[in-house]
Structure 1
Amino acid sequence: MTFACKRVRLKSDSRETAKTVANENSDTPKVTLGKELTKHRTNIREIIRWSNATPIRCRGGIGYACCFCSNQYPDPADLKRHTIDGHDEETKRDFMKGKDMYGFFVKLDITSLVCNICLRNINTLENLMTHLKEEHDKNIHTDINNHILPFKFESETLKCFICLNVFNKFKALQEHMHTHYRNFICEVCDAGFVNKHLLLCHREGHKKGTFECKQCTDVFDTVRKMKQHVRKVHNGSLPHKCGYCNERFKENFHKNEHLAKVHGVVGPAIKCQACDRTFATQQTWLLHTKKYHLMQRQYKCSRCEMDFFSKRELNDHMVKHTGTREYRCDICFKCYGRLKTLKEHLRRLHSDERRRN
């Protein structure tokens, strides 16, 4: 079964962004842009032709999507085999045809990168380009900044091969890779982007003003916040769709639970680099790392020298100083200073009574 992967388009409510892009484009002579675009197209075609590097359209509902057809594969290695064996040179020759300079952007799988001519193993995309140009006299242009984000899938864990940060979503890894390929820089927050279109879209988030929700009285300081509010509160948006049965979910973790229970698909676990624990989401891994390995303790007790990772932990600690007992058992009316102590009390002494009720 194959599934088409959605392509990003400018919607009617993003006309300002489109106008901005058009204005920015006019700053550079069209002849210069045309020459640079030709170089980018030539480079990616030569890379695909003379190596086993393979492009990725996106990470869809089923898996990594082919750039030349609608197939998707949960394992990127299967996409690589499909792309190399299933599509001929004539099909690949038209890759990125029709893309303009400001939207030119390629996601490239360079796992186990090999030169197809001499079968030499090469560790980076940049080294491959230099190798093809200098060793095999291929038409590679090294006088431009690549609009390519390279990825390596060397284990079940999604990892940046440059700085070794780990992620549990391809989208998060892709966004992270822009920190290493900073062709265009946001002057407000110093965020980097591989092409100018992504920078211009990002800039919209910095524009401040007064934006009122037309369906309630809430007011926001950016258009982006107002649109997120409308989608979540008023539209009943269910943005996370299952790629197997098309059921939709409001939150991504609900979709992941559905995938595991209904379709038996479990996302890649994140292994802590400092200990043996594994985590289902990047958020829980980050919390673990900050708490137990970085020893972050920003909540300080005002009555002693102890400090804590979370406000809840500080509040539990303050019971020692205040003696407050605000958690009461509804069965025997005994009071406790901490919720977890009350829960333990209910489990040990009243579990049978609660089941009967």
Structure 2
Amino acid sequence: MKNGRTGRFSSKLLRTKLKAEDVRKIYLSHTPERMKLLTNVKEVLKWSNATPFRCFGQLGYACCYCDDQYPDPAILKKHTLDAHLNEQNACFMKTRDMTRFYVKVDITELRCKICSNNCDTLDQIMQHLYRDHDKKLFMEVKNYMVPFKFDSDTLKCFICLNKFNRFKALLEHMNAHCRNFVCEVCDAGFITRTSLTNHAKIHATGTFSCKSCDKVFCTLSRKKSHEKYVHGGVLLNKCAHCNESFKDYHKKLKHMLDVHGVEPITLKCHACDRTFTNQKVYRNHTKRDHLMERRYKCTQCEMKFYTSNELKDHSIKHTGVRKFQCDVCLKAYGRKSTLREHMRIHADDRRFKCEHCGMAFVQKCSWRGHMRAKHGEQV
């Protein structure tokens, strides 16, 4: 009995002599990763005015706790803090697949609810809560909260100050700052493991044929995307007001204008005076004309091009292949577009007209030469 009591006493003494840091390490080693991530999110949202949001939809920023959407993120922030104070039933709390887990957080005018201390970043507020208020935070795990600040009329990254016309583009850009997972091939960073896995597919090259048509793709991801959206009957463009879907983006815009009276959004380029109503066209304009992105390089010379089709057109100069032949005069051309322009000669299609003397020309180059020689205009 004596030895038994001594053993229990020694065990109790051993536990009391453990340092607080040792106890914390033991606790950490037995806490699942998912629990650590969710605990960090809950503690930050509970003890600061940081507010989560679900996404940016057709009607604005969507609440994580209900179906409300607001075009102004400041109104959503007020709604969240007023209507969902201390509520734990957010959409991200139901996540089971942690390879996709991340939380979008508005940290505009970020401050501590306990002492009203102001902080600039999520890291600062987490360090403050952990050190100054002894809150239970797991500082050693990756951060899956993606921060945004909406403190101006311009949508921009508060870290590097790059400007964006769409929230989706800003969200994709945040992968560059939230580098939880890094591609070993190109060093690109990603918030989640799933994003890295999807990205890695672009580095796998080969010959991938479509199951439904004769198109061939150089990557598996492009083939799957083609099959899904071209042959799968997927309607990507959904109206935010009545949920009717359209395969064509412009048909959706026309529907929203005709049925709901919603004017299309005008996207203005920050670098020039051009405006766009199509996000894809605007994005291509920015990459091609201002960022001078040229991913496709000719193997025969030093020229580079924005698209693969431009490279194919250029490559004809090196191959000399002329497979497009005129049925009238039998002249052959390397490009179908050149043959199409040539056919206007036989049709006497004089679409380029001089506004000074009325002369008309089949080809634009002839019109330009006329304008310079006869009227002294550089066009």
TM bucket (normalised to shorter chain) is 0.5 to 0.7
Could you tell me which of 241, 244, 269 is aligned with 1:244? Answer: 241
Which position in structure 2 is the counterpart of 1:81? 78
Out of 124, 127, 149, the position equivalent to 1:152 is 149
Matched, 1:106 2:103: yes
> Where do 1:81-230 residues align within 5 Å?
81-92=78-89, 96-230=93-227
Q: Distance in 2 between matches of 1:252 and 1:277?
A: 20
- Give the Cα–Cα distance (whole angstroms) in 2 for the partners of residues 209 and 289 of structure 1: 26
Q: CA deviation at 1:173?
A: 0.8
Question: Residue 52 of structure 2 aligns with which residue?
Answer: 55
8 Å contact 2:266–2:275 — kept in the other structure?
no
Mapped partners of 1:297, 1:184: distance in 2 = 26
TM-score (structure 1 length as normaliser): 0.67
| Contact 1:213/1:226 (8 A) holds in 2 | yes
Listed as ranges, the matches of 1:247-326 within 5 Å are 247-252=244-249, 255-256=252-253, 259=256, 262-264=260-262, 267=265, 269-270=267-268, 272=270, 281=279, 284=282, 287=285, 291=289
Cα distance change on mapping 1:174 and 1:95 into 2, 3 Å = closer
Instruction: Provide the residue aligned with 1:67 in structure 2.
Output: 64
Report the Cα distance in structure 2 between the residues aligned to 1:43 and 1:132, rounded to whole angstroms: 11
Cα distance, 1:72–1:55 mapped onto 2, change above 3 Å: same
Q: Contact conserved, 2:269 with 2:282, CA < 8 A, in 1?
A: no
Which residue matches 2:24?
none
TM-score (norm 2): 0.64
Structure 1 alignment gaps of length 5 or more: 1-30, 299-308, 312-323, 346-357
Q: Structure 2 stretches of 5 or more lacking a match?
A: 1-27, 296-305, 311-341, 372-379
Residue 211 of structure 1 and its aligned partner are, at CA, apart by: 2.6
Name the CA shift for 1:222/1:36 in 2 (closer, same or farther; >3 Å).
same
What letter corresponds to residue 202 of structure 1 in structure 2? Answer: H
For 2:213 and 2:185, the matched residues in 1 are separated by: 31
How far apart are 1:53 and its partner, in Å? 0.9
Cα RMSD, aligned residues only: 4.0
Q: Which has the larger radius of gyration?
A: 2
1:157–1:166 CA contact under 8 A, matched in 2? yes
Distance in 2, matches of 1:270 and 1:138, equals 45
Q: CA deviation at 1:297?
A: 11
Say which SS state the counterpart of residue 45 (structure 1) adopts.
Answer: helix
1:41 aligned onto 2:62: no
Contact 2:64 2:91 in 1 (8 A): no
The alpha carbon displacement at 1:279 in A equals 6.0
Q: Secondary structure at the match of 1:57?
A: strand
Deviations 1:178-206 (A, max 9, x none): 00111111122322111212212322343
Shift of 1:52: 1.3
**How many residues are matched?**
291
**In structure 2, how many angstroms separate the alpha carbons of the residues matched to 1:116 and 1:147?**
21
Secondary structure of residue in 1 paired with 2:105: strand
Q: Does structure 2 retain, via aligned residues, the 8 Å contact 1:279–1:285?
A: no
**For 1:65, what is the secondary structure of its paired residue?**
strand
CA shift digits 1:267-291 (9 cap, x unpaired): 474562x678776548537746975
